[in-house]
Structure 1
Amino acid sequence: MFAEMLLAARELLAVRSPLDAELMVSDMLGAWWGRRLRRGDVEEVLGEGLVDYAAKAGTPAALTLLIAVAYLGTSRQAAKAEGAALALMESDVARPRWADRVGAVKPQGCYVSRDAYGDEDTVVCTFAYRGTPGPRPADPAPLAGGDDPHALVVVVDYNMGGMARDAWVSSEVDRLLEKAGVEAAGDPMLAFQELEPQQARALLEFAMKVTTESLVRKGPELVSDGYSAFHAFARARIKALPPGRKRPAPLLSEAPYSRDRRAMLAAEFLASDAAEHLSDPSAASRCADHIIDYGCDRDFNRPLRVSPTKCRTFLLDWLPRKVLLDPAEQEAMPHVLSSWVRFAARRTGLPEEGLKATLDAVWEATGRFTEAYRDPTTFGLDRSLVRRLLPDGDLSALPRRAFAFPFLEGLHDGVDLSALHPAEDADRRVLLEIDHAAERDRPDFAEHLAWHEEIATRLWDGDPDQMWEAAQRLLDLGHDRHEVLHVLMEIAERIGDHPDELAAALDDIADIPDEPPR
């Protein structure tokens, strides 16, 4: 693979501008961006491996590749690439004329196109190369003029946690800005405005960090097909913007809602005209609490923000995975959400067409909600049993908690298991002792049980997420629960109190060895 990349790097010798060279190398680095390796970090194994390979090659193409990676790569890749490039230049390896201008850009202006829903920002940052090569000025403030003007465009999606979902580069800066202004002028659902460069940097750094963290959990399918090709370029250009703001953007800097503030907002809603037709005040109150919690905890403290996408995500994705609703709440939720949309739209000034589109989306999702929301009691689980496993109402925790505590009913040695609550430490210990009664003769039973309690607690809390994911992989391969628990225990004991290392080790589990630790 490295040989093929170095062969492709010969094209760098023929390009005329540093912009073309940077985009080509960014595309190369994107070949493995967002991917995962079973052993080792992909940026270290492949990214730094490419740098080492190019350094040994020592050709003009290798030098141009190293020069670009010194600007576009990760901090470790950049440091290695810079050292290798200097060594080749001292050996009189030829380099193209544009090499001195790689990354020598100055910001020209930053802009943002926002939709009235608050679903996403399209951030546009414009740059130009300095007219002559030379060191960067101490003051990175925007300067007039420059060569090869270009714009970095990044789409930030707030329905996906504020992640950078798409990115591209345009050389037609004036046309791009003019088109965005014209579209906003003719559409009340759009706004186009200038953005302070410091604010743009904070916003984009935050968005790209969220993207990286999301990819670790869910994979590169979350972003557009072209995002990987521009990721390295975008990361480098963002660093060219002046720092200075700790908060990413006004939309992300709302003051946290305390419990009292959330309760007050719910009370205002229930007393409003929008909620007067709701027939079950008790269920409506609980549903409003869920809506407000979702807006505060999942949408950057914006419970009053409503949109078609946000409402569909809440109703068809988040609620079915995360919240245990009783039958009255299941019946009331779509109606309460429609009322909340009317209440919130008036408070935020959402245009009428936005209100109508959001209500239409809720109406369309209502029928699908009854299919998407799977009440555990429909699978034969007693509701009181579910409540014991989910005292916090976190529906997504049900499978892993049932795996950790499979014996919760019946009598054992005179103990009524239905009276024990696995959320309480003392009851949890009794349940685990009963679960492992066959191992009581072990000389190290106390220590062994303590490790079972450690794993059970981690599974209960979902800390880390990788533990239950690893357990599911092993169960899918046909291993029994006892074997799986012992493998998890062995890894936790071996890694100790190192969360990142524990998560990585659990990620690496592909199967149980022939003789699993006991």
Structure 2
Amino acid sequence: MVPPPDRHLATSVAGELRGVVAASPGWFGSVGLVTPTRGWIASDVFGDQESLILRFRQEGAPGEHALVVLVDHNLSGQAKDVWIGADLDDVVASWRCAVDPHMRLDEAPIDKVLRQLRDAMAMSDLWNGDTELRSDDFAHHRALIWARLRRAGVTDERPSDTEVPQADRELLVKEFIASPQGGGLTSQVPRADVELLAQHLVDLRSDYEGRPLRWSPNVVSLLLGDLAPRKLLLDSDQATALPAVVRAFARFCAERTGLDSAFVDEILATVDELEPEFLDRIGDPAVAGPAKAVLAALKARGVDLSDMDAINEALQRSGPMKLPQPASRKRPSTATAPGEVIASAEGTPVLSRFKVLTGFYGDGRKLTQTGQPTLADARKLVTLLGTMDRIDQTIGEHTFKTRSAAELPELGFMIRWAISAGALRKVHGKLRATAAWGALEDKPLQRWIKATDALPPLGPLAAFYANNRFRGHEELLDELTPEILDMLERRPMAFDEVLDWVCERADADYEWLAPFMQDPDQRRMSLGWDLELLARILGWASIADRVDA
């Protein structure tokens, strides 16, 4: 069993071995004599990944077995993992028992499954440099899969053509502009060229997968977090409008494909989450790919980018161009982290609390109509987590009944943080632990990184006071947190020293309208409360500790 490029060499070597070895073992004649009999395709509703399940019958052996290959469509449809199942009925039954509403399992004609498997294997061979994205099991079984395909008569080693014709792309853009979703953008983003932005989206989805109608949270993350900042040269108005066009286009595509509205909401939530990062990166020259960097340089020189003759002339006259260095999006590997660092991450309060939350919510617990934990669940969690929330608080002779989990800010914050970090997610009125977080059970440092990465976009104080009607959506301390951490990284600072700096920045940057905040002493006291809360939150993540409290 060898990959296609080495087939002829292997055949020659096998022939030589036959001449040397006197007698072959009894099982030698039946090696590779397998017949595919049935096939299934398991996938998520978004189409991000598919598991191709094939049943094979081995000549001269009792029973049948399963070959399961994982295909990732966010990697251009490459196969990336594989495993062998001794009992196919058990494999299929395990998929059918899945309670995740995102999962689908359908039996498919075996010829169709074989063709899809061939395409996935061919794409993996085409992108052979992406080996770090595939499992060791895939590397070990790659030759076996190709041998099974050849035995089944699937000998073409090239993937099916997924090129989307230009005429089809232009028609899709026109249909979107004429749709209710596209038509509403004219008033929403009046200064943007919606048709141009839609064409960019269709082109990116067509070029990188060949399925412009397929959208998912992962697709949005790939497009707004990487492709668009790296590929698209947009002015400020166009860049600001792109997330709105993505939302509208995703709704348009979902209507075309029949995607349930609950899943569409997950896509839109991802756009909301990534919009600030996208707006930061789209204007960063160091993020641009070479083509975008060259075009940006030409545009800065006044070259008309719609005139190819002008572009060619400018390139010939300009000589060598120095391009900005690509901005790195990769962290150093956690695999080489010292043991004490891993142990420190594992012992952080935030991971302990996330462990309680994921264990409590498990496969899912019902939320209220307003998306809050039930009051019964909230009572249990306040105790389990040890939050400072007070339920049915008594002041003097009066007891104030807690009527909703929305009245418990610390519990609400921890749940929002866990959702933002990917430990929990809301699905059809329930809150449940995610499989992705469970897969990191033995990787506490990676869990800690995900938790801390989620904190800045979440906004520590904004998330903590999310249900407080007396607080705004933007918090001063959230804006100043990066600068505070930068100061603390250089040297330890007394709490009052940090508070002095916060007050000075606040007075320089803000005009205080509320009478309470116009008094300097009252203002310092209020900002001090917020700074104490920020210190507690940073302490939960072991980012910073207040040692003088």
TM-score by length of 1: 0.54
Q: CA deviation at 1:123?
A: 0.2
Which residue is equivalent to 1:82?
14
SS in 2 for 1:303: coil
Which residue is equivalent to 1:202?
115
Alignment of 1:258-407 (within 5 A): 258-269=168-179, 272=182, 275=185, 278-280=188-190, 282-300=192-210, 302-376=211-285, 396-399=290-293
Indicate if the aligned counterparts of 1:111 and 1:194 stay in contact, CA closer than 8 A. yes
Percent identical across equivalent pairs? 26
Indicate if the aligned counterparts of 1:72 and 1:78 stay in contact, CA closer than 8 A. no
Indicate if the aligned counterparts of 2:176 and 2:182 stay in contact, CA closer than 8 A. no
Counterpart selection for 2:50 from 105, 117, 121: 121
CA distance in 1, matches of 2:223, 2:142: 29
Deviations 1:7-32 (A, max 9, x none): xxxxxxxxxxxxxxxxxxxxxxxxxx
SS in 2 for 1:150: strand
Alignment of 1:87-486 (within 5 A): 87-89=19-21, 92=22, 94-131=23-60, 146-147=61-62, 149-183=64-98, 186-216=99-129, 219-243=130-154, 257-269=167-179, 272=182, 275=185, 278-280=188-190, 282-300=192-210, 302-376=211-285, 396-399=290-293, 428=312, 432=316, 435=319
CA distance in 1, matches of 2:134, 2:241: 35
**Matching residue's letter, 1:324:** L
Q: CA deviation at 1:163?
A: 0.9
**Matching residue's letter, 2:256:** R
Q: CA deviation at 1:103?
A: 0.4
Deviations 1:312-351 (A, max 9, x none): 1111111011111111011111122122222322232212
Deviations 1:341-385 (A, max 9, x none): 223222322123311211111111112212332344x99xxxxxx
Q: Mind listing any 5+ residue stretches in structure 2 that lack a counterpart?
A: 327-549
Indicate if the aligned counterparts of 2:33 and 2:59 stay in contact, CA closer than 8 A. yes
CA distance in 2, matches of 1:101, 1:246: 25
**Matching residue's letter, 2:291:** A
Deviations 1:170-212 (A, max 9, x none): 21211001122333xx554332122222222221111111112
Q: CA deviation at 1:241?
A: 2.5
Indicate if the aligned counterparts of 1:112 and 1:121 stay in contact, CA closer than 8 A. yes
Q: 1:253 to 1:291 in 2, by over 3 A?
A: closer
Indicate if the aligned counterparts of 1:215 and 1:222 stay in contact, CA closer than 8 A. no
CA distance in 2, matches of 1:280, 1:422: 23
CA distance in 1, matches of 2:72, 2:115: 15
CA distance in 2, matches of 1:308, 1:120: 13
Q: 1:128 to 1:427 in 2, by over 3 A?
A: closer
Q: 1:191 to 1:248 in 2, by over 3 A?
A: farther
Indicate if the aligned counterparts of 1:278 and 1:284 stay in contact, CA closer than 8 A. no
Q: 1:253 to 1:243 in 2, by over 3 A?
A: farther
Q: 1:430 to 1:343 in 2, by over 3 A?
A: closer
Alignment of 1:498-517 (within 5 A): none
Which residue is equivalent to 2:391?
none
CA distance in 2, matches of 1:105, 1:207: 21
Indicate if the aligned counterparts of 1:269 and 1:275 stay in contact, CA closer than 8 A. no
Deviations 1:199-258 (A, max 9, x none): 222211111111122123xx4112123221111111111222244999978x96987753
Indicate if the aligned counterparts of 1:119 and 1:157 stay in contact, CA closer than 8 A. yes
Q: CA deviation at 1:396?
A: 3.7
**Matching residue's letter, 2:41:** V
CA distance in 1, matches of 2:169, 2:234: 20
CA distance in 2, matches of 1:100, 1:230: 21
**Matching residue's letter, 2:107:** E
CA distance in 2, matches of 1:195, 1:78: 34
Q: 1:116 to 1:244 in 2, by over 3 A?
A: farther
Q: 1:73 to 1:100 in 2, by over 3 A?
A: farther
CA distance in 1, matches of 2:220, 2:318: 45
**Matching residue's letter, 2:250:** V
Q: How many residues align?
A: 324
**Matching residue's letter, 1:360:** A
Q: CA deviation at 1:86?
A: 1.8
Indicate if the aligned counterparts of 2:181 and 2:252 stay in contact, CA closer than 8 A. no
CA distance in 2, matches of 1:422, 1:295: 23
Indicate if the aligned counterparts of 2:35 and 2:58 stay in contact, CA closer than 8 A. yes
Pick which of 343-352 and 278-287 moved more.
Answer: 278-287
CA distance in 1, matches of 2:46, 2:262: 11
Indicate if the aligned counterparts of 1:198 and 1:242 stay in contact, CA closer than 8 A. no
Q: CA RMSD in A?
A: 4.0
CA distance in 2, matches of 1:221, 1:202: 25
SS in 1 for 2:27: helix
TM-score by length of 2: 0.51
Q: 1:256 to 1:244 in 2, by over 3 A?
A: farther
Q: 1:364 to 1:419 in 2, by over 3 A?
A: closer
Pick which of 239-248 and 364-373 moved more.
Answer: 239-248
Q: 1:111 to 1:258 in 2, by over 3 A?
A: same
Q: CA deviation at 1:285?
A: 3.0
CA distance in 1, matches of 2:311, 2:95: 61
Indicate if the aligned counterparts of 2:230 and 2:292 stay in contact, CA closer than 8 A. no
SS in 2 for 1:282: coil
**Matching residue's letter, 2:190:** D
SS in 1 for 2:152: coil
Indicate if the aligned counterparts of 1:274 and 1:342 stay in contact, CA closer than 8 A. no
